[in-house]
Structure 1
């Protein structure tokens, strides 16, 4: 895909809708949703569509008359989501039903896409729903999610859903036209039409704030979503959804930012790279960092610090000596074992462990680079 118009050739597309687009002052924007549903119906003439929809907390908070849009506390957010999820499912069912499309509600938690077996189950459910002709409407299950164990925004969720569904592209509908080289409110700010890989320089252009106050994301979350998508070989677009026909405006007029897919990792490596909740951190020295650049594994001799309390097989992040994030992978030892052997060469490790050491702390086959 080289331009936004190429998204019309996608065989499977994930569309993310933010809270501020769907809900205004606690009430659904029914006319706007009707227009979007019509555009989705048009897309479905040649593509399968998955919707990732925010809005449950905002809708539920209005019904329960809770302050701060239901985000005053975790308990308020969970209660609001419980009520709002019913309303959100009805809105999508009614809007898509006018075009003869069946909507299917699918609520997921972070754990559903972090655990490999549950991830494959979610992938199979999405595939079967699409095969049956339904439009899955996915949302994080905020009624049970906690502050510590949650996606926190539906931008990254959309990228993970696209990965699980084997989608060609993700379209994030936002309240801005796309990624600007600086705050778009500043004079001279330039909209970037295409980004070939999310670099530290690109990430520095982002703000973490949600301008509407309803959502939980921001441009930084969208760029993190782009990183997840690009690693899996999936294109991602940020476009303005506030207009009456947002898909037509973005795709036909070419207004938005297209993030090009990068190396198409294996399914398992893409899943591993997209995981969001490492259980700990291994910091390594400069020599190990250089070896990782050549495709090596993480060895105990190069580890200088261990953070967290993790078990064998858990996901851990790997940082360089200055705290720079190098990647993440599945660790072969517990945290206490890592602390016991850090800095030691393989021939020195058996005395500390009480058994023959493994080949690596994180094998290169079980690691993805940042």
Structure 2
């Protein structure tokens, strides 16, 4: 188990970007009893998989749980684990029908899994009343999450994810990202797969969500992708998920809402704006919320992540972090997603550094 609090709730490559590996240390696994300073991530018991899982390592050949041999491309890139879901039209219709307004309204952010398992403490609200500071780049830093009311591309491309794990319904945040397929969504790994445990079921993305409204339709998952270290170890440094979605009303996601750019190997320490749908108090998950500020390396040395001062709560996991964000257009470049908080610092959100692992995910998922 990783020792962090999860917050469950991309695009033609930018030319000329230098791809750099993650430089932070691999997350150290501790439970709450092993360290009074940090709280453990809630384990979710796996459920029976219905479809084949393929692991591409570039070195070995593995098989999915169906016992079928998986085809492995000897690419030498960091490994990507893939999961097929809702393969037929009838299955997609079943997923769409599952998410009634009532079910969406009652879905829980993942840290409330404590109410089901009794393992994880609920995140508390923090950071209220913080006065925004000015960053060296002139963009306002904001620790206390504020409702985004300026519209633009980010209001369309950012949305809520609804998913089921072992019979319980949960919510996350995510973003449409540019890709050749026009069908790609980026989110946190734990919004797709519970680390070493179960893959999500009934996974659907609602871009531009607002107070129960689904103005741009909803998009069910076709294929899900996570990094190998996340699937095997629940490594917080690789808490990234990408999902190839189906069409809605016969239209591709990218044609309807567009997609944000994505970058890999970007310089650390830049200013970024984080967006999501926090659902724990004082938020209600019904509005798009944002924080902004400079990114800093994990001071605990437990992960290769960067942190942003932000009080968004559970439900915001998977929401995009945009560098070079232009408030007038709502466009920026995705450089991370909201992942976790330390139990002794609930005013800082952490997100994985987008290096080789994220690039491998994007390359694989965008070709799906």
The structure in which a higher percent of residues are helix is 1
Structure index of larger Rg: 1
Higher RCO (C-alpha 8 Å, min separation 6): 2
TM-score normalised per structure 1: 0.25
The structure in which a higher percent of residues are strand is 2
TM-score normalised per structure 2: 0.25
